[in-house]
Amino acid sequence: MKEQVQAALEKLRPMLQADGGDIELVDVTDGKVQVKLRGACAGCPGAQMTMKMGVERFLKEKVAGITEVIAVNF
C-alpha cells in the first residue's frame, strides 16, 4: 500500500509545488497515511483544508483502504 500512496502523491506533488509547497510521505499504517507538508504548505493557513479536501480525498480515490491522512510536524 505504501508504494501505491507514494505513486499517488507523485501525481499530486506538481500542484503543491506550483504554489511553492511540497509533500513528503512519512508512513502508512492500517490505512492511515502520515505526511509532512514542506515549503509554503508548511506554514499556510489553508494547509488543513488542503490536507482534508485535497490530499485526503485524492488518496482515498486512488488507493483502496485509506481511511485518513494525518499531517505530522517534526
Per DSSP, what are the bridge partners of residue 52? none
pTM comes to 0.86
Instruction: Look up the CATH number of the domain holding residue 33.
Output: 3.30.300.130
pLDDT tens for each residue of 10-45: 999 998 899 898 999 999 999 999 999 888 888 778
Q: How many domains does the chain have?
A: 1
The C-alpha cell at 27 is 508512513
Domain interval for residue 9:
2-71
DSSP state of 55: I
Report the chain's mean pLDDT, rounded to a whole number.
91
Q: Do residues 43 and 8 touch, judged by C-beta distance below 8 A?
A: no
Q: Is the pLDDT of residue 63 over 60?
A: yes
Closest CA to 22 of 34, 5, 44, 39: 39
